[in-house]
Structure 1
């Protein structure tokens, strides 16, 4: 079994490698190709990857290359974890929106649109290369904004599934609080990527006992602290929102906070320098503790599980993925991409049926989906008017004065990545 990782020079990659090594019985990889244009980073990461495999007794071959076509050739699955523009572009995404009083974040708001505009054309080009070399390969997208990128892939006819680590993070936290194993936790996870709610926490499977009332009765303070939301919000909702909902439920508070401290991109850039120095140490043969602060917790477990299911190697029967709606949420278009529990196999994901969703959540999902429609249109076709319309439609923006300024700033900061600008 051959897997390729586009963006293999990322400092994230040793987390993925560690998961491949530990879970080799679930996903028996014979060849792993790390693909990245940054040859210096790639060799550092590749060296550590080989040492991790060797230490854990994995006999798979690890190849590093900057040749995209050669790297994806004959791959059974291709994982996308690239960042167009690197941390420098992310730093811009997280700062210039604040000048207009809007949240600065890499996946939502104006910064999220900027990332989508930079990313979608690049990902589609990679996907076409994959299709030319191996049309049967699955594309697993971890590249943000996952929902928009996955929709672009599916709309273009690719065999693609989007993956995010938010759900598996909740699964692990809830299992710990409830003193059960993670495999015992089945989430009623519903929404769009980075706009989701846990409306049920079931024991053992989709028909199991709902432990959410018990979880909230006994652990609401802990969960609220993790989400950085007041307990009163969770008490009123009766569900657990993703921590990304704080950008919506406490937007102005978050903006004030972000204006008083360095961007997350600046923190990550400094962390990456330290990590790359560590990766260059020939004695290092395991992922360093610092990597846990980099983000992407449990990404490797989620990626292994999904790839194993798609490739018929095993994997969990139900997983949270980003996939086409097809009537699952009846208030959305069929071709919208949603993030929900699905039965996953070699045929791909099949979303599980969901009960009617409270208008409190359905309304925001509908609003954000309309924005994503316009964002994808802007990413595919370009033009200032399309960027303006997408920003105006975003639930966190919506005022023409802000939108005019944000449109100009977005284009100015991303001109080198926009072929039409």
Structure 2
């Protein structure tokens, strides 16, 4: 089995490699190819990856290359974890929207749209080259904004599934609070990528007992602290929102906070420099503790589980993924990409039925889905007016004066990545 990671020079990669090494009985990788154009990142990451495999007794071969076509040739699955423009572009995404009093964030709002415009054309080019190399290969997208990128891939006919680590993070947290194995926790997880709610927490599977009321009653304070929202709000909602809902439910509070502290991008950039220096140490043969602060917790477990299921090697029968709606949420178009529990196998994911969503949640999901459709149109076809329409549709913006100003800022800060600008 050959797997390829595009963006293999990411400081995330040792987390993924550690998962491949530990979970080799679930996903028997014979060849792992790390593809990245940045040799100064790829070489230390690749060296550590080989040492991790050796330490854990994994017999697989690890190859590093800057040649995308060679890297994806014959791959059974290709994982995408790239960042077009690097942390410098992320720094811009997180700062210029604040000038208009809007959220500065890399996956939602104006910053998220900028990232989508930079990313979608690049990902589609990669996917076409994967398809030429092996039309049966699965593409697993971990590149943000996952919902928009996955929709672009599926709309173009690629065998693609979007992956996020929010759900597995909740699963592990709830399992620890309940004192059960993670595999025993099944989430009623519904919405869009980075716009989801846990409407039920079931023991044993989709038909198991819903223990969410018990979790909120006994551990609501700890859960509220994790998602950085008031305990009283969770009690009133009766669900657990993703921590990304804080950008919607506490928008002005978050803007004030973001204006008074260093950007997350600057923190991550400093952390990456330190991590890459560590990775270059030939004595290091395990992922360092600092990597846990980089983000992406449980990414490796989620990626291994998904790849194993898609490639027929095993994996959990039910997994939270980003895939086509196809009537699952009846108020959305069939070609919308949603994030829900699905039965996953070699034929791809099949969403499980989702109980009717409260209008409080479905209304926001419908609004953001409309924005994502317009965002994808802007990413594919370009043009200032399409960018403006997407920004005007976004519920975190929604005023024409803000949309106009943010359009100018977005184009100015991303001109080198926009072929039409």
TM-score (norm 1): 1.00
Matched residue SS, 1:52: helix
Q: How many angstroms apart in 2 are the aligned matches of 1:55 and 1:222?
A: 36
Aligned counterpart, 1:329? 329
Cα displacement (A) at 1:235: 0.8
Residues 162-185 of structure 1: per-residue CA shift (max 9 Å, x gap): 000000000000000111110000
1:49 paired with 2:85, answer no
Matched residue SS, 1:260: coil
Aligned counterpart, 2:232? 232
Residues 248-285 of structure 1: per-residue CA shift (max 9 Å, x gap): 00000000000000100000000000000000000000
Aligned counterpart, 1:351? 351
1:339 paired with 2:339, answer yes
Matched residue SS, 1:48: helix
Aligned counterpart, 1:307? 307
Q: How many angstroms apart in 1 are the aligned matches of 2:316 and 2:307?
A: 10
The residue correspondences of 1:19-418 to structure 2 (distance < 5 A) are 19-418=19-418
Q: How many angstroms apart in 2 are the aligned matches of 1:38 and 1:103?
A: 31
Q: How many angstroms apart in 1 are the aligned matches of 2:201 and 2:225?
A: 19
Cα displacement (A) at 1:228: 1.1
1:9 paired with 2:13, answer no
Cα displacement (A) at 1:226: 1.1
Cα displacement (A) at 1:126: 0.1
Residues 295-341 of structure 1: per-residue CA shift (max 9 Å, x gap): 00000000000000000000000000000000000000000000000
Matched residue SS, 1:144: coil
Cα displacement (A) at 1:210: 0.4
Q: How many angstroms apart in 2 are the aligned matches of 1:292 and 1:112?
A: 24
Cα displacement (A) at 1:372: 0.2
Cα displacement (A) at 1:232: 1.1
TM-score (norm 2): 1.00
Matched residue SS, 1:385: helix
Q: How many angstroms apart in 1 are the aligned matches of 2:404 and 2:115?
A: 18
Residues 160-215 of structure 1: per-residue CA shift (max 9 Å, x gap): 00000000000000000111110000000000000000000000100000010110
Q: How many angstroms apart in 2 are the aligned matches of 1:183 and 1:232?
A: 29
Aligned residues: 421
* Structure 1 alignment gaps of length 5 or more: none
Q: How many angstroms apart in 2 are the aligned matches of 1:44 and 1:231?
A: 43
Q: How many angstroms apart in 1 are the aligned matches of 2:40 and 2:238?
A: 49
Q: How many angstroms apart in 2 are the aligned matches of 1:242 and 1:41?
A: 32
Q: How many angstroms apart in 1 are the aligned matches of 2:82 and 2:161?
A: 16
Q: How many angstroms apart in 2 are the aligned matches of 1:271 and 1:209?
A: 42
Q: How many angstroms apart in 1 are the aligned matches of 2:40 and 2:274?
A: 15
Q: How many angstroms apart in 2 are the aligned matches of 1:300 and 1:330?
A: 32
Q: How many angstroms apart in 1 are the aligned matches of 2:3 and 2:332?
A: 34
Q: How many angstroms apart in 1 are the aligned matches of 2:337 and 2:382?
A: 21
Cα displacement (A) at 1:399: 0.4
Cα displacement (A) at 1:20: 0.3
Q: How many angstroms apart in 1 are the aligned matches of 2:370 and 2:102?
A: 19
Cα displacement (A) at 1:225: 1.1
Cα displacement (A) at 1:356: 1.0
Q: How many angstroms apart in 1 are the aligned matches of 2:225 and 2:354?
A: 28
Cα displacement (A) at 1:354: 1.2
Q: How many angstroms apart in 1 are the aligned matches of 2:218 and 2:232?
A: 14
Cα displacement (A) at 1:360: 0.5
Residues 106-144 of structure 1: per-residue CA shift (max 9 Å, x gap): 000000000000000000000000000100000000000
* Structure 2 alignment gaps of length 5 or more: none
Matched residue SS, 1:57: coil
